[in-house]
Amino acid sequence: MGNCESRELVAQAKQNKIINTELDKAKKTDENIIKLLLLGAGESGKSTVLKQMKIIHNSGFSQEEISNKRNVVCANTVQAMGALLDGMKQLQFDFSTRVCNAHEKLIRETLNDKAEYGPFSDAMFNALTELWADKGVQCAYDKREFFYLHDSAKYFFDAIARVHTPNYVPTENDILHTRVPTMGVIEVNFTIKGKFFRVFDVGGQRSQRKKWIHCFDDAKAMIYVASLSEYDQVLLEDNTTNRMHESIQLFKQVINNKYFVNTSVILFLNKIDLFEEKIVTKKRSLGIAFESFSGPSQDLNAAVAFVEKKYRSMAENKEKNIYCHHTCATDTQQVQYVLDAVLDTILSTKLKGCGLY
């Protein structure tokens, strides 16, 4: 991981320490403060949801934040190409042009050096552009379900020329697609209808999960973000466990935890766009992950309903309300609509009896 991402992780660690201190001091919150917990397995899209909250309700990103994201965009692009080349090797595909061997060497050296990834040099720009255009690389990309590749890879590959321009400034959409693993706790605050919301995003990788429970037993609501599109993928941490199975088990642990008995649960079944592509276009049946899925195999609605039922069945208390939404976290307009509905639900009088406020 490059220095640009390392700086982000160091900043996260400092902020995490501050937040933990505040949480210890303020276990009992004022009635006008609503604490929301954003949970989910790694790469579910929960940090993207938090970024959307920042854009929609907290005046977006500062100029400093936008400037810092340029290197992250470059890093994500180079790292994604490295992962794609690994997948190509795994599948035993060959380049269609010999020059790509030299391009691969540059990518490998850059990743091994862990240096700054951006701005792109002309050599790096040419390497990324010609590798992405190579037929062998494209064949590997079409088989990406067989190896790890971040969801935003194509987005950044298609933006290589734009990112290489001298005056490039990351757009909000670029920032929404960036990926830096959440280490510890990240907080976003905003006020709606006289209520002060404190939203906490905590690390989704296995190593981060033990930090969740004791800090957030007074959360008024929990938003659990689950990726629909991961039914045919395995965890980055162990490369064997099915990602959707892992997420469902994590949801089971959280929803039945004694600390969250009175916490309302909002379930975001995220990445519906990628899920539709796999189910309908690529014809990859949900039966890959669940033998009990009876189809129809290319029916998006049937597949979504099956997954939603799986998550709901994890609640030991069958009367517990679980408010479910199907989302695409990178679609600001859709997320704004969903978040407005969620926040209205949290503030509604009919949920006062559930301990919301």
| Residue 151 in marked binding region | yes
| Residue 5 in marked binding region | no
| Residue 40 in marked binding region | no
Q: Three-state DSSP class for 257?
A: coil
Which residues does residue 36 pair with via DSSP β-bridges, in sequence order? 199, 221
Which residues does residue 39 pair with via DSSP β-bridges, in sequence order? 224
Fill in the DSSP letter of residue 81: H
Fill in the DSSP letter of residue 234: B
User: So which residues are the catalytic ones?
Assistant: 43, 48, 179, 201, 205
H helices of 27-134, in order, are 46-57, 63-90, 99-113, 122-133
Query: Cα dist. 70→14, 60, 120 in Å?
Result: 22, 16, 10
**Torsion on CA atoms 122, 144, 42, 50, rounded to nearest 10:** 60
Fill in the DSSP letter of residue 337: H
| Residue 176 in marked binding region | yes
| Residue 321 in marked binding region | no
Q: How far apart are the first and last CA of the chain?
A: 42
Are 48 and 201 contacting, i.e. CB atoms less than 8 angstroms apart? no
Are 71 and 118 contacting, i.e. CB atoms less than 8 angstroms apart? yes
| Residue 270 in marked binding region | yes
Nearest to 131 by CA among 166, 172, 95, 90: 95
Please count the other Cβ atoms lying within 10 Å of the Cβ belonging to residue 84: 25
Q: Which residues contact 305 (CB under 8 A, 6 or more apart)?
A: none
Fill in the DSSP letter of residue 96: S
| Residue 271 in marked binding region | yes
Q: Three-state DSSP class for 2?
A: coil
| Residue 30 in marked binding region | no
| Residue 232 in marked binding region | no
Are 84 and 137 contacting, i.e. CB atoms less than 8 angstroms apart? yes
| Residue 353 in marked binding region | no
| Residue 329 in marked binding region | yes
The token duo for 70 is: 């340029």
Distance of alpha carbon 180 from alpha carbon 327, whole angstroms: 21
| Residue 217 in marked binding region | no
Q: Binding site: what residues are annotated?
A: 43-48, 151, 176, 182, 204, 270-271, 273, 329
Binding-site positions for GTP: 43-48, 151, 176, 182, 204, 270-271, 273, 329
The binding site for Mg(2+) comprises 47, 182
